[in-house]
Structure 1
Amino acid sequence: MGNLTRPPPLRRQGATVPFRSATRTPVAPLLLALALALALALSGCAESGAPEGAPATKSPADSDRQVRQLPDQPFDYQLGGAYPPPEGVRTVVRDRTAAPEPGAYNICYVNAYQTQPDEVGWWRKNHPDLLLRDADGDLVVDEDWQEPLLDISTAGHRERLARIVGGWFDGCAKKGFDGLDSDNLDSYLRSDGLLDRKQASAFAELLVARAHRAGLAIGQKNAADMAPVGHRLGFDFAIAEECARYEECAAYADAYDDKVLVIEYRGADLTAACREWGERLPIVLRDRDLVPAGRSGHVNERC
């Protein structure tokens, strides 16, 4: 599912001119080097992606953070807004615009394969060729969430998108998150045949590498049939929505050695999930709108 916000971009570090201590640098070569540095910096900015008015974040070339693996403990799923976790809950999934919960294992939600419906104009202006279009030139949209799909059909597109999404990952790391909820791995199934599983896997491989480079664990979101592939690509855990309802929990549990967070949205499915998986997997029942605690409609139960 999609969130209502969008993370800031990757900003490439510009090239620098090395300092020479033993000789005087002639003016012409120095100007040429400076011009080259400026051109490289500008080319990096052209690939960055942030909605207008969003703060930019500096992207580290490498991170010395150690990847903290997902702990075996109860969790909460707070994409609709942050609130104090229920008693005993020490793993929290929040949108990347929210602050991490102090003392908890924090997972940062990123819509990695689709964009937000209210930001289509930004994508049209800055990266129009990275939006997936059909033969008539119309955007291909996930109708359930009104989210246009990103075009991962070519290696060049995947590399550019990985730089943009990688900047969002860097922002999560900078804020203090420990892991990532990288949503919509299965968006190719909603692409009207324009994308395929191989392309989704190739993009996932780039995202996994970038997440680990930022010092973050990264979770496979949904796509039960891709769980064995996702684990081989390097995903550290899985986040599964309604796996009890659709009898898919085993696929995730087997592939990820029970490192799976389960979200159900119906009481009967929570009962089924707890009966079969409650001793092995952390499970939460949430309302579909993920309403914050204290507001009407909020649902939050565990086994």
Structure 2
Amino acid sequence: MRKTARACATLMAALAASVSAACSGTTGTERAADALWKPRPGLAWQWQLDEKADPSVDVPVYDIDGFENSKADVARLHRDGRKVICYINVGAWEDFRPDKDAFPRSVLGEPNGWEGERWLDIRQISVLRPIMERRFDMCRDKGFDAVEPDLVEGYDNDTGFPLTARHQLRYNRMIADIAHERGLSVGLKNDLPQIPQLLDDFDFAVNEECAQYDECGELTPFIEAGKAVFHVEYTEPRSSFCAEARRLKLSSMVKRPELDVWRDPC
């Protein structure tokens, strides 16, 4: 009798929750989206992909390598009040990653200029999606708040494949969906020409060298939408771009190309 009463109570609670959601017009997907971390313009950040994260930089956001850092490393940053972004390469194969053998040779293209890396054939969605899902599972399981998927502009490079802007849009939206399905926010890395089409799919932007190439204005849609733009320059002196970066509300700093601990923020 008591089991029946408990079952009825559980059923009634579930029905009440369903009715409440239906009346409010809120779906499960929308509730999940509401729970995502949504970084606002102007947040200071640290971007360190060289070895494990050094927690000594006093900023609210860390962007670190998803493979090189452990769940404990992420938890340590969380204890200090930081949000943590998981760097994952989604556009190129890397011969130094533990899952390198999961990529069939058919998806490997031309070298991309970085040692041990080759462009991926992003047209092969059925092959690449499960690999990327496992990588994003890793980010989620280590406790990351967000993902920085790198090299999402293969269509504009010599990859060895006849990639088009349409292929890239499809792939980038798939990447954003994989992140959101796991409760992770996701940043659009570079790919400035496709910002108008992808703005609604991504929660923030990560940009390299927009000042050097006089492109920072192209990132304003993210700022206008209340979404952070995490920006670095490598060779430009702070005096040449920081005033404009502050005006545009970019989260800007100078870094060395190896992305070690050193930073010089605006």
TM range (shorter): 0.7 to 0.9
Structure that is richer in helix per residue: 2
The alpha-carbon distance between structure 1 residues 115 and 107, as it changes in their structure 2 partners (threshold 3 A), is same
CA distance in 1 between counterparts of 2:132 and 2:160 reads 23
Residue 182 (structure 1) aligns with: 149
Alpha-carbon distance, 1:145 to partner: 4.6
What is the TM-score normalised by the length of structure 2? 0.75
Q: Among 210, 218, 227, which residue is 2:195 paired with?
A: 227
Q: Among 42, 48, 52, which residue is 1:78 paired with?
A: 48
Residue 11 (structure 2) aligns with: none
Residue 138 (structure 2) aligns with: 171
Instruction: List gaps (5 residues or longer) in structure 1.
Output: 1-62, 133-139, 293-298
What is the TM-score normalised by the length of structure 1? 0.67
SS across alignment from 2:163: coil
CA distance in 2 between counterparts of 1:150 and 1:200 reads 11
Residue 25 (structure 1) aligns with: none
Letter in 2 for 1:106: V
Alpha-carbon distance, 1:192 to partner: 4.6
Residue 87 (structure 2) aligns with: 109
Residue 253 (structure 1) aligns with: 220
Q: Is this contact kept in 1: 2:205–2:230, CA < 8 A? A: yes
Q: Is this contact kept in 2: 1:120–1:148, CA < 8 A? A: no
Once the two structures are superposed, residues 29-82 of structure 1 have per-residue CA deviations (whole angstroms, 9 ceiling, x without a partner) of xxxxxxxxxxxxxxxxxxxxxxxxxxxxxxxxxx96921111442101111131
**Pairs aligned (count):** 221
Residue 238 (structure 1) aligns with: 205
Alpha-carbon distance, 1:110 to partner: 0.5
Q: Among 136, 158, 166, which residue is 1:198 paired with?
A: 166
CA distance in 2 between counterparts of 1:109 and 1:220 reads 12
Residue 272 (structure 1) aligns with: 240
SS across alignment from 1:204: helix
Structure that is richer in strand per residue: 2
The alpha-carbon distance between structure 1 residues 302 and 181, as it changes in their structure 2 partners (threshold 3 A), is same
CA distance in 2 between counterparts of 1:79 and 1:122 reads 19
Instruction: List gaps (5 residues or longer) in structure 2.
Output: 1-30
Letter in 2 for 1:67: L
